[in-house]
Amino acid sequence: MKKLSLIFLSAVAAFAVDYSAMSTEELRAARGSVAEADRSAFQGEMQSRMQTLSPEERQAESSNMRQSKSGTQDGSGSQMRQGGGGGGGKQYRGGR
């Protein structure tokens, strides 16, 4: 049983993406297309990269990420989550 578990874990590790080997630009480009199984590893690497930045660099990087999120073409960006844009449901119009 232990051998089977070891073989399984080795196979999974062989197909896992090594985000630590990617540049920050490559990580930025991969955002939004990361497989669900790899998301925790991706997020962990992004967080560790952000922690190594100076406060000024971190603020610039955060604003770059926000801008790229709000620029999505399919309407699934941050504007939809904040209630702006779209028009999917009825809105309260104050008794009109």
| pTM exceeds cut of 0.75 | no
As a whole number of angstroms, the distance between CA 68 and CA 31 comes to 10
Reading the block at residue 92, the tokens are 């309260």
> What local confidence, expressed as pLDDT, does residue 62 receive?
82
Those residues with Cβ within 8 angstroms of residue 77's Cβ, 6 or more apart along the chain or in another chain: 69, 70, 71
Encode pLDDT of 19-68 as tens digits. 899 988 898 889 889 999 999 999 999 999 989 989 998 888 888 777 77
